[in-house]
Chain A
Amino acid sequence: MSDFMMFSLVPLTVAVVISMTCALLGNFLVLRRQSLIGDAISHVALPGIVVSFLLTGTLASTAMMLGAGASALGTVAMIELIRRLGRVEISAAMGVTFTSLFAVGVLLLEWHQASGVHLDVEHALYGNLESLIWFDGTGPAALFDPVALADLPPQLARVVWVGLVVAAFVVVFRRQLILGSFDPDFAASVRSYPALVDLLLVTMVAVAAIAAFEAVGSIIVIAMFICPAAAARLMTNRLRAQIAWSQLFAVVSAVLGYLLAGQGLGWLGFDVSVSAAGTIATLAGVILLLACLWGPHRHRTGVAASP
């Protein structure tokens, strides 16, 4: 029990919260056919974080979150500029932007490797969920012990805060989000400012991506933006139900994935543990696969179900 409290409670909570946050936003990205914005932004989080690390010198500051958020907004601006001024198709504009910015991030990272930075490309991609150890979490009593609670890894609080902000955003702007997702022209005509809400949504995606990025790495972020929401889309035709399904899928893949990563191979007789972030994201993909095979609403409306 104390082992669980010390080594697993925090990573598990962080994984669950991040997954739920990303899956919540993912619903709107999938509906708007903008899934790849999440992909682009989580690639760009790398240069954002590296640059703000080089400027501020620490890995855990609000300044860094701000810097990375600004870089994400800069990315969106760059994509739009290339698309409008250069008359380039949107997916190509995205490809140009995020590969170049990611290249800048990798280059900066390699450049400063000599100065002993605890940040490398692999870390950025896979994250380091297992390292979130709660040293004072020696037993259930620690949950009520203020001294022990103060020792919780700071990532936990950050992730929970971001989760709350994102949830509040979705609740407050639910009308505008839904309108903008289904009929942007109508949304504009009834003054629900779809462009502004779009921008806010992208900002939220960036904030979630960056908070998650530091704790769990960028693969899990992309997977969680897309897979649970896409799987939920195949389960139902109602938005509320879709959001509920996506949250369920997110929780299931986070919990199961974390447990499998730690123990899964042990059950097969190997004494190794594998990347938790990777397993969680893989499970999200597996859930999507199952939904693609058997989801009750997997077919396009108006297309007859093929035998």
Chain B
Amino acid sequence: MEIWWRALTFTLGYNTSLVTVGSMLLGAAGGMIGSFVLLRKRSLVSDAISHATLPGLALAFILAGLWQGDGRWLPGLLLGAALSAAVGLWAVQTISARTRLGEDAAIGAILSSFFAFGVVLITVIQSMQVTGQAGLTGYLVGATAGMLAAEAQLIALCALGLLLAIFVMRRSFLLVCFDAEFARTQGVSTGRVDLLMLLLLMAVVVIGLKVTGLILIVALAIIPPVTARFWTDRPLRMVALAALLGAAAGYLGVTLSSVQEGLPTGPLIVLAAFALFMVSFLFSPWRGVLAALLAYQRFRRRVHVRQGLLALAREESIFDNLTLKLLQRQGYIRRDGVATLPGRAAARDAEHEERLWALYRERHPDDALQQEHSGLTPLAQVLSPDAIMALEAQLPPKPEGGR
């Protein structure tokens, strides 16, 4: 607990702090680019990209190992990873564009066969006389524990650069995400913007390999944007929020992993992101599950009260228990079901409102259709006062038999 606190407050040494800052920048970059990719509905392309890095990683390791006896040379590994990820990305694009196979099959095929080839190369490495082999498995599930300061600096710098690049490109990304046709008329080359988007995604994935590992890096590009979507309907706000959430996940995950020796970073970052997601999924006041349940209950009560009042106005008896309870609670009826004075007044109002609505629907059927929950919202919220007066003037006299 105490160690965690020290990690949280950046007092656990230079390396840990550097790694923490690097992961936060990475999370932010992943969240930002992921938002655009999510809006473009291509989230799982990142899965193919990340798995496709493995053969490049392994080849770079072999080459570096043959050259200098130790395969762990981060810039070389990242370059190799980027190259093979680019090949994988190109293959996914080509397969889904040129053949009849869907993008899902292309993604699945590329991620599995590239990853498998990487595994073959890794078994080749295991039979070679190269040191630093243990470092390679760190790329599968992420390991920041033994990271060198130079490596952490490289990752942090690259993440910062990516963040800036995404920030600069945000307008064109947005344009292409929402209206590719319009973007084309504005002289934006959608193909090029799409490609740039995926290349930036690829860069984030490659930089993040060392931190979260190649299987889990997709989570950084998927979970924060999905979480951010629960809190806003404005795209740029969503991107900013996703960046914040990604940074928070990186911060929590890395600091948690420093609590105990050997705790893998990747899973902890992903689980931190998932915890943030669950909170938003359940409790977001706009799109959360709880909010939806509450809204449903509120709507149900409104329908029951309205129907109850109408029944009172028409002097019909009420049998529904919920209706009786609600009317009683609001003081509209006594316990024996007889309407009180305020109840009668409210019933009269409700009936009047209902007749006005019926008339409005009859005269202006198209306008009435536009209204959500038409009939339940007070007409005064929908129409201007003089429009209501005009309607009231046209109201037919009440049929005999009422009060």
> Quick check: is B346 within 8 A (CB to CB) of the other chain?
no
A274 and B124 contacting across the interface, CB-CB below 8 Å: yes
Q: A100-B271, A103-B274, A285-B113 are in contact. Are A95 and B99 (CB under 8 A)?
A: no
Which segment, of A1-9, A166-174, A198-206, A296-304, faces chain B?
A: A296-304
Smallest Cβ distance from B296 to chain A, in angstroms? 12
Residues of B within 8 A of A110 (CB): 141, 262-264, 267
Q: Is B12 an interface residue (CB 8 A)?
A: no
Q: Is B255 an interface residue (CB 8 A)?
A: no
What residue of chain B has the Cβ atom nearest to residue A285's Cβ? B113
Task: Confirm or deny: B373 has a beta carbon within 8 angstroms of a beta carbon on chain A.
Answer: no
Contact A275 B123 (CB under 8 A): yes
| B3-11, B219-227, B353-361 - interface stretch | B219-227
Q: For the complex, is B345 an interface residue (Cβ under 8 Å from A)?
A: no
Interface size of B by CB at 8 A reads 61
Interface string of B357-374 (1 = CB under 8 A from A): 000000000000000000
CB distance from A92 to the nearest CB of B (A): 4
Option from B99, B219, B226 in Cβ contact (under 8 Å) with A88 = B226
Q: Which residues of A contact B287 (CB under 8 A)?
A: 86-87
User: A92-B222, A277-B116, A298-B100 are known contacts. Are A272 and B124 too (CB-CB below 8 A)?
Assistant: yes
A38: chain B residues at CB < 8 Å are: 108
A219 an interface residue at 8 Å Cβ cutoff?
yes
Instruction: Please tell me if the beta carbons of B267 and A292 are within 8 angstroms of each other in the complex.
Output: no
CB of B105 within 8 A of CB of A91, answer no
A281-B222 contact, Cβ under 8 Å, with A100-B270, A300-B100:
no
Residue pair A222, B218 in contact (C-beta under 8 Å): no
**Interface pair A125/B113, CB less than 8 Å apart:** no
Q: Which residues of A contact B270 (CB under 8 A)?
A: 99-100, 102-103
Nearest-Cβ distance from residue B142 to partner chain A, whole angstroms: 9
Structural contact, A222 and B274, CB atoms closer than 8 A: no
Q: Please, how many residues of chain A have a CB less than 8 angstroms from a CB on the other chain? A: 68
Interface 0/1 of B99-111, CB less than 8 Å to A? 1111011011111
Q: How far is the CB of B199 from chain A (nearest CB, A)?
A: 20
| Contact indicator A233/B271 (Cβ below 8 Å) | no
**B285-300 interface bits toward A, Cβ cutoff 8 Å, 1 = contact, 0 = none:** 0010100100000000
Q: In the complex the two chains form, is A95's CB within 8 Å of B271's CB?
A: no
Instruction: Tally A-B pairs: CB < 8 A.
Output: 214
- Residues of chain B within 8 A of A91, CB atoms compared: 41-44, 104
B306 interface residue (CB < 8 Å to A): no
Q: Any chain A CB within 8 A of the CB of B117?
A: yes
Are the CB atoms of B229 and A103 closer together than 8 Å? Answer: no
Contact (Cβ within 8 A) A278 B123: yes
A282 within 8 A of B: yes
Check A86/B289 contact, CB under 8 A, given A92-B43, A94-B44, A277-B119: yes
**In contact, B99 and A89 (Cβ under 8 angstroms):** no
Asked if residues B120 and A288 are in contact (CB atoms below 8 Å), the reply is no
Q: Does A259 contact B (CB under 8 A)?
A: no
For B47, B105, B292, the residue with the greatest tally of chain A CB atoms inside 10 Å of its CB is B105
Given contacts A82-B281, A272-B124, A281-B113, contact A104 B271 (CB under 8 A): yes
Contact with A along B14-25 (1 / 0, CB 8 A): 000000000000
Q: Does B122 contact A (CB under 8 A)?
A: yes
Which A residues touch B229, using CB under 8 A? Answer: 88
* Contact status B109-A36, CB under 8 Å: no
Chain A residue nearest to B220 (CB atoms) is: A99
Among B101, B263, B287, B292, residue most surrounded by chain A Cβ atoms (within 10 Å):
B101
Contact of B101 among A30, A88, A107, A279 (CB under 8 A): A30
| A234-B120 contact in complex given A91-B43, A223-B113, A281-B113, C-beta closer than 8 Å | no
Q: A100-B223, A107-B267 are in contact. Are A284 and B38 (CB under 8 A)?
A: no
Shortest CB-to-CB span from A276 to chain B, Å, is: 9
Question: Does B112 contact A96, Cβ atoms closer than 8 Å?
Answer: no
Name the residue in A39, A82, A121 with the highest tally of chain B Cβ atoms < 10 Å from its Cβ: A39
Contacts of A219 in B (CB 8 A): 112, 115-116, 119
Binds B, one of A54-62, A138-146, A147-155, A224-232: A224-232
| B271 pairs with A301, CB closer than 8 A | no
A-contacting residues, B328-367, CB 8 Å:
none
Other A-B contacts than A92-B38, A227-B113, A233-B100, 14 sampled, CB-CB below 8 A, are A33-B105, A35-B104, A86-B230, A86-B287, A88-B226, A96-B274, A100-B271, A103-B219, A107-B263, A122-B137, A225-B108, A281-B113, A281-B116, A292-B101
| Interchain Cβ contacts under 8 Å between A and B, 23 examples | A34-B104, A35-B109, A39-B108, A39-B112, A86-B226, A92-B222, A95-B218, A100-B270, A102-B270, A103-B274, A107-B268, A121-B140, A225-B108, A226-B109, A234-B101, A278-B116, A278-B119, A278-B122, A282-B117, A284-B113, A288-B113, A301-B100, A306-B98
Top 10 closest A-B pairs, CB basis?
A: A285-B113, A281-B116, A278-B119, A99-B219, A223-B112, A103-B267, A95-B222, A103-B270, A226-B108, A272-B127
